[in-house]
Amino acid sequence: MCGNYLAEPVACTPASGWEKGQVENQVGAIRRRSFVPWPRFRSYAELNAWLMDRCIACGRRLRILNVVDDVTKECLAAIVDTSISGRRVARELAALVTRRGRPDLIVSDHGTELTSNAMLAWTQETGIAWHFIAPRASRSRTASARRSTAGCGTSS
């Protein structure tokens, strides 16, 4: 058999217990590589749906970046991943700008990926204005203060 495969036989040391586990691990790796079918997809949408199902099945938290046009309320992009970096956001926005054209203004919250150095460099490079909305806590405080002031004005 060794002559058929042109391989030299390596003698195993019977006193070493770790060799059996190593051989079984290598056999398992060969079986996984050889006998497990590779998934095939007709389109990228089908691949993305399959990957989304796999991510949900494994139980990891997903981050979703939605890019929405404020005028038409059209979702221009939805990026789903377990982690989205500032570089990834800059890359996706650059691709979106080439597809749809340059916007006058981008409005976002204070997410860590949106306040990164990569995003600062991208906005300076492209010259697109960026506006950050007020954090939720300060907005709700302002709204309640306005309500109470308006209420006081009408009651007296």
**DSSP string for 90-107:** HHHHHHHHHHH---SEEE
**What is the enclosing helix (H) or strand (E) of 63?**
strand 63-68
User: In this predicted model, what pLDDT tens digit does every residue of 52-88 receive, in sequence order?
Assistant: 888 778 777 778 888 888 888 888 888 888 888 999 9
CATH of 61-137, one of 3.90.1640.30, 3.50.30.30, 1.10.3720.10, 3.30.420.10: 3.30.420.10
User: In this predicted model, what pLDDT tens digit does every residue of 23-63 receive, in sequence order?
Assistant: 777 888 788 777 877 778 888 888 888 888 887 787 777 78
Q: What is the largest CA-CA distance in the chain?
A: 104
State residue 94's pLDDT score.
93
Domain boundaries, the chain: 61-137
**Is pLDDT larger for residue 16 or for residue 129?**
129
User: In this predicted model, what pLDDT tens digit does every residue of 114-128 receive, in sequence order?
Assistant: 888 998 999 999 999
CB–CB of 66/74 below 8 Å? Answer: no
Residue 96 banded pLDDT, cuts 50, 70, 90: very high
Within its chain, how far is the Cα of 76 from the centroid? 16
153 pLDDT higher than 80: no
Q: At what angle do helices 86-100 and 117-126 cross, to 10 degrees?
A: 30
Q: Which residues contact 3 (CB under 8 A, 6 or more apart)?
A: none
